[in-house]
């Protein structure tokens, strides 16, 4: 009887050991604890809170600080750590180029006029602004807008042709090319969906020598503007001129006392 108990006890102990061994093998090791995620480094940069248009005077409420990833902030951005008083510094500055809401602001985007007028503030060094009288029939039908580029055409009497032929002769010549339009009357930008500016005065950006040429041409005859395409307005764009220097039109007047008149165009290049 004792022997039977010992055998049963031995079997139970052996079974328990096997079960413990199997349980130990089936137990998987715990996964390592996840590493803490490193926070993205950021910096506060100066941005526009609303859309800013060219010529607008900045108010402190229109600009503010915005969190920006440090890796994406280039050297032109205005950082709060470097210029904490930038909002007050930019108060009263004049916007030179359109700035979209949320766009970082660079120093060259604005002009600190310090009491100067807008045109004087945005004119590049060495350039001049010249006002030129225009009419709807001499400025591409009124479709010329600020920031367009134009050519200036002079129409005058050809005295040499008149002396040689005894008839009235007019000649048109492009005297200046690819000039930037700064303003039409007092409009320096499109507002309220305005697509056409019917003005009486166009302000052009010119060099000092071009300003002198315009003043002289004004005394010689009539001036008109021709609108250039965007492609032809780019620096270095090839000229699409088909005329060499000008076209002469002879006007032959006849009839008693000048009562009747007819025009006989005779184009020629000089």
10-residue stretch averages of pLDDT, the chain, 270 residues long: 63 65 58 66 93 85 92 89 92 86 90 69 84 70 78 88 82 91 67 55 91 91 87 62 46 42 39
pTM: 0.54
Q: Two tokens at 179?
A: 């000039």
Instruction: Identify any residues that bridge with 173 across adjacent strands, giving them in sequence order.
Output: 154
Residue given tokens 């303003």 in the structure block: 183
Segments of the chain assigned to CATH 3.90.1210.10: 42-121
pLDDT given for residue 67 in this prediction: 93
pLDDT given for residue 46 in this prediction: 94
Q: Two tokens at 139?
A: 């400025």
User: What does the alpha-carbon distance between residue 3 and residue 110 come to, in Å, rounded to a whole number?
Assistant: 105
**Number of neighbouring beta carbons within 10 Å of residue 170:** 19
The CATH code of the domain at 42-121 is 3.90.1210.10
For 209-246, b where at least 16 C-beta lie within 10 A, e where not — what string? ebbebbeebeeeeebbbebbeeebbeeeeeeeeeeeeb
What are the angstrom distances between the C-alpha of 40 and each of 71, 103, 147?
9, 21, 42
Contacts of 260 (CB under 8 A, 6+ apart): 254
pLDDT given for residue 260 in this prediction: 37
């Amino acid at each position: 009887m004792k022997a039977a108990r010992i055998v049963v006890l031995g079997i139970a102990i052996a079974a328990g050991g096997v079960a413990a061994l199997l349980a130990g093998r089936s137990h998987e090791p715990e996964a390592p604890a996840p590493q803490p995620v490193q926070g993205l480094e950021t910096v506060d940069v100066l941005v526009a809170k609303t859309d800013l248009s060219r010529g607008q005077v900045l108010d402190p409420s229109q600009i503010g600080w915005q969190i920006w990833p440090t890796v994406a902030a280039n050297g032109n951005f205005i950082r709060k750590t470097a210029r904490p008083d930038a909002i007050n510094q930019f108060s009263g500055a004049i916007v030179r180029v359109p700035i979209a809401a949320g766009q970082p602001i660079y120093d060259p985007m604005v002009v600190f006029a310090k009491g100067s007028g807008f045109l004087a503030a945005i004119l590049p060094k060495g350039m001049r602004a010249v006002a030129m009288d225009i009419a709807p029939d001499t400025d591409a039908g009124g479709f010329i807008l600020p920031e367009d580029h134009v050519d200036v055409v002079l129409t005058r009497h050809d005295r040499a042709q008149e002396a040689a032929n005894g008839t009235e002769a007019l000649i048109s010549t492009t005297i200046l090319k690819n000039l930037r339009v700064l303003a039409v009357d007092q409009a320096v930008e499109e507002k309220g969906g305005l697509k056409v500016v019917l003005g009486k005065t166009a302000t052009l950006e010119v060099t000092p020598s071009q300003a002198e040429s315009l003043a002289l041409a004004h005394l010689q005859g009539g001036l008109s503007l021709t609108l250039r395409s965007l492609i032809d307005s780019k620096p270095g764009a090839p000229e699409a001129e088909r005329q060499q220097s000008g076209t002469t039109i002879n006007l032959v007047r006849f009839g008693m006392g000048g009562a009747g008149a007819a025009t006989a165009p005779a184009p020629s290049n000089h």
